[in-house]
Structure 1
Amino acid sequence: MLAKFATSLAAIIALTQPFNAHAESWFEVEVFIFERQSNSLEQWPDLSAPNKNKQLIDILTPEISTDITGVAIGLSGCDSSDWAVDTSSCNDPKVSNSTKSYPSLLPFTIAPKTPKKAYIGESAVLLAEHQGQFKQLIKTLTREGNIQGIVHLTWQQNMQSRRQAKAIRVIGGRDFSKQFSYHGQQVNQSQPSATADMLSDYSALGSFSAPAPVMPVWELDGSINIYLSHYLYIETDVFLRKVSQKLMDPSHGEVVGFNSQGPAQKVMTPFLQSIPLQQNRRVRSGEIHYFDHPQMGIVMQIRKMTQPTQVKPIVISAPVPQAVEQPSIDPYQQLEQEMQQDAQQKLTPQIKPYEG
C-alpha cells in the first residue's frame, strides 16, 4: 500500500515539475574569506553585531553542530530526515527543543563528507570539499604572510529576484561566547558557574522552564545574498569580530549601589568589535570576484551548472513485519499429552495381514 502511494505521489510531482524547472535558474557558488594580519590603526564605526532576526538560509549550522539532546533527556533528537517522515514525534517539545553543541573553532572548509546534489524545488545545498575548485587559488593566496584563511564554502542555489531571494548565512573562525556577548560586551567570568547552577535547578522543570542556552559568537558572521535582476548581483553583509577596547561605563548592565555618588567614570574595557564588509556589486558568472577590505577579503565565483532534473526522493519507512507470537505450552502438560498418545497406540488392536 505504501509503495503504491509513494509511486503515485512521485508521479504527480513529476508531472508538475517541468513548469517549475523551467522557472528555476541554478548556479554554483564558491567563497573564500580571509583575514588580513595587519596592525591597522583605522577606526571603524560603532556598528552593532549582525541582525539575528534576519531571515537567512542556514546550510552550515546543521553541518558543524552536534545534537546532544539525547545525552540530556535520553532522546536522539530529530535530524532533517526525521522531520520528513515523523513530524508528529519531532513536534514533541522534548524532541524539537533540541540542545546543540558547537566546536570552539570551526574547520576552515565547512562541507559534508559525502557529495551532494541539487533537486528541483529544493533550497540551497552545501557541497563536499572535493566539489569545489578553489584549492590551488587558496594555496597561492595564503602564501602571502599577512593572509589567514577563515572559511571556504561551496554551494548550489536557485537564483531568484531580489524580492524573493534569501541570503545564505556565513560563519567561520573561533567562538567568543565564553568571553563576550553577541553584541560585544565582556562576559562576567563568574557567570558560567552561576548559569550551570541555574541549569541544574531548572532541569527537573522541563524544557519550557529552562533558561535559553548560550549561542556561539563566531569570529566571522553575516550573510551573502545573490540575486537576479537581468544580471547577477552579490550583496555582502559580513562582520569580522576582533578583540579591542572601548571606553565604557563600568556600571553598564549592573545595578548601581545606593552609596554611589554621581555618574561613574568611564574606563577602557575589553570589547568585541564587529568590523563590517558591506558591498553590492553586479557580476558575471564564471569570473572570479574580489571584495577588498583593510581587515579582510572575500574571493567569490558564481559558475553555471547543469540544471537539476530530479525531485528529491521521498523517504517512506516500510512497516516492520512483526513476528507472530506462538502460544506458550506448559512442558509438563506437553509430556502428559505424549504419554496419553503412547498409551492409546498400545491399546489400538494391530491388524496383521492374512497369511494363506
Structure 2
Amino acid sequence: MRIIKSLALLSAAVLSTSAHAIRWFEVEIIAFKQAPSYSIKEDFSIEPEALTERNRLNLLLEGFNHTGYELCLQGRARFQDRSFIRTLTQGKSSPWCEPSRDYVSLFDTLPLSPSVEPQEHMDSIYLLDKSQLQFQDKLAQLQRKDLQPLLHTGWRFPEQSKRRAPNVVIVAGEQYKQPASITAAINREPLGSLVSPYISEETRAAAEFELQGLIKIHVRHYLYVTTDLDLKYEDEGKLRTARMSQYTRVYSGDIHYLDHPKIGVIFQIRKYKH
C-alpha cells in the first residue's frame, strides 16, 4: 500500500512539474493598410478560396463584444437597448445592457483595439487589454507615414504543437452588411463560421469585415506563425479581396514585419514569465 501511495504521489509531482514547465508567450500585432501604389502588378480580381481551417478561437470577436458592452454601460445610446417591445413585455423603460447581447453588429467600424479586463495568469489563452500593449511608438510611426492601422491587439498563449495550436480569428476595420451599395463576393464561406455565440443569426449570414482571417502560432523548437488575412476593398463598385498568406519562423523578442501590396503586419512574440 505504501508503494502504491508513493507511486501516486510521484506521478502527481511529475504531472505538476510538466504542467508548470510549459512555456507561455504573448504576441502583439499591428495590421495596417498599405498606401495605394499604381505600380502593383498583382491581379486581385479573382476571389481566393474560403479559409477552411478548423480549431478556431474567437478571442477578438469576444473582445469587441465586451467593448460594446462597456460602451453600453457608459451610456452610449447606440449600444443600449430601448426596445418598445421589451418595455411592454418586461416593464422596463431604462436602457438595457446585457453582456450576452450582440454588440459587434452595432459597430460600423470596429475599434482599433478591443477593451477587455486585464488578466495575468497561465490557465487558458486570453486577449490582452489595450493597456497591456507596447507598440504605441509603432502606431505613431505608421500615422506619421499616413498609413492606416486597422488592428492593434495581442494575446497570451502556451507553447503548443502545430496540430493543437488554435487558429485565432482576426476581424478588424469597417463592417460590411447586406444589403450594401457594393457587391459582396458570392459563394464564399459566411462569416458565421468564424463568429462567437454572441453574434446574431442575421449578422452571421451577412457580415463581412474589412480585415478578417486567421493567425496560428505554434512551437517546434522555434516559434512559427501562419498568417492568412483577407483585406476587402472597393474596386469599380465591387468588393474585392486581397489575401496575405505567409508562414514564418521567428525568434521571441524580435520585431517582425510581414509585407504585402495591400496589407502590412508588424508583430512581436515575447516570453511571458519564463
Q: Return the TM-score normalized by structure 2.
A: 0.70
Whole-Å Cα distance in 1 between the matches of residues 144 and 231 of structure 2?
A: 22
Partner SS, residue 213 of structure 1: helix
Partner SS, residue 286 of structure 1: coil
Correspondence for 1:222 among 208, 213, 216? 213
Question: Are residues 283 and 181 of structure 1, via their aligned partners in 2, closer, same or farther at CA, if it must alter by over 3 Å?
Answer: same
Whole-Å Cα distance in 1 between the matches of residues 46 and 249 of structure 2?
A: 28
Question: Are residues 53 and 278 of structure 1, via their aligned partners in 2, closer, same or farther at CA, if it must alter by over 3 Å?
Answer: closer
Question: Are residues 78 and 109 of structure 1, via their aligned partners in 2, closer, same or farther at CA, if it must alter by over 3 Å?
Answer: closer
Correspondence for 1:109 among 102, 108, 113? 113
Deviation per residue, 1:146-197 (Å, 9 max, x gap): x111110021111201011111111110011142799525xxxxxxxxxxxx
Deviation per residue, 1:192-236 (Å, 9 max, x gap): xxxxxxxxxxxxxxxxxxx94133210000011110111100110
State whether residues 224 and 235 of structure 1, in contact with CA within 8 Å, keep that contact through their aligned partners in structure 2.
yes
| 2:163 aligned partner, one-letter code | R
Question: Are residues 163 and 69 of structure 1, via their aligned partners in 2, closer, same or farther at CA, if it must alter by over 3 Å?
Answer: farther
Deviation per residue, 1:283-336 (Å, 9 max, x gap): 1000000000111100010001115xxxxxxxxxxxxxxxxxxxxxxxxxxxxx
| 1:170 aligned partner, one-letter code | I
RMSD across aligned C-alpha pairs, in angstroms? 3.1
| 1:110 aligned partner, one-letter code | P
Whole-Å Cα distance in 1 between the matches of residues 18 and 108 of structure 2?
A: 41
Partner SS, residue 60 of structure 1: helix
Whole-Å Cα distance in 1 between the matches of residues 99 and 15 of structure 2?
A: 29
Whole-Å Cα distance in 2 between the matches of residues 292 and 140 of structure 1?
A: 16
Deviation per residue, 1:33-59 (Å, 9 max, x gap): 010121445312623464377431111
Whole-Å Cα distance in 1 between the matches of residues 163 and 132 of structure 2?
A: 30
Whole-Å Cα distance in 1 between the matches of residues 230 and 121 of structure 2?
A: 29
**Alignment of 1:118 onto 2:121:** yes
Shift of 1:21: 2.3
Partner SS, residue 203 of structure 2: coil
| 1:137 aligned partner, one-letter code | K
1:33 aligned partner: 31
Partner SS, residue 214 of structure 1: helix
Shift of 1:19: 4.2
Whole-Å Cα distance in 2 between the matches of residues 220 and 154 of structure 1?
A: 16
Shift of 1:142: 2.1
Larger C-alpha radius of gyration, 1 or 2?
Answer: 1
Question: Are residues 35 and 76 of structure 1, via their aligned partners in 2, closer, same or farther at CA, if it must alter by over 3 Å?
Answer: closer
Identical columns (%): 26
**Alignment of 1:148 onto 2:148:** yes
1:56 aligned partner: 56
**Alignment of 1:241 onto 2:239:** no
Deviates more, 1:212-221 or 1:35-44: 35-44
Q: Return the TM-score normalized by structure 1.
A: 0.55
State whether residues 26 and 270 of structure 2, in contact with CA within 8 Å, keep that contact through their aligned partners in structure 1.
yes
Whole-Å Cα distance in 2 between the matches of residues 232 and 170 of structure 1?
A: 19
Determine which structure has greater relative contact order: mean sequence separation of CA pairs < 8 Å that are 6+ residues apart, divided by chain length: 2
| 2:256 aligned partner, one-letter code | H
1:138 aligned partner: 139
**Alignment of 1:290 onto 2:257:** yes
Unaligned 5+ runs, structure 2: 1-11, 70-79, 91-95, 187-199
State whether residues 32 and 264 of structure 2, in contact with CA within 8 Å, keep that contact through their aligned partners in structure 1.
yes
1:341 aligned partner: none
1:259 aligned partner: none
| 1:294 aligned partner, one-letter code | P
Partner SS, residue 140 of structure 2: helix
Question: Are residues 50 and 221 of structure 1, via their aligned partners in 2, closer, same or farther at CA, if it must alter by over 3 Å?
Answer: farther
Whole-Å Cα distance in 1 between the matches of residues 254 and 148 of structure 2?
A: 23
- Residues 18-97 of structure 1 aligned to structure 2 (within 5 Å): 18-19=16-17, 21-40=19-38, 41-42=40-41, 43-44=43-44, 46-48=46-48, 50-51=50-51, 54-65=54-65, 66=68, 79=100
| 1:44 aligned partner, one-letter code | F
Whole-Å Cα distance in 2 between the matches of residues 271 and 214 of structure 1?
A: 20
1:200 aligned partner: none
| 1:176 aligned partner, one-letter code | Y
Shift of 1:63: 2.2
Question: Are residues 61 and 144 of structure 1, via their aligned partners in 2, closer, same or farther at CA, if it must alter by over 3 Å?
Answer: same
| 2:142 aligned partner, one-letter code | L
1:264 aligned partner: none
Question: Are residues 182 and 271 of structure 1, via their aligned partners in 2, closer, same or farther at CA, if it must alter by over 3 Å?
Answer: closer
Whole-Å Cα distance in 1 between the matches of residues 210 and 151 of structure 2?
A: 11
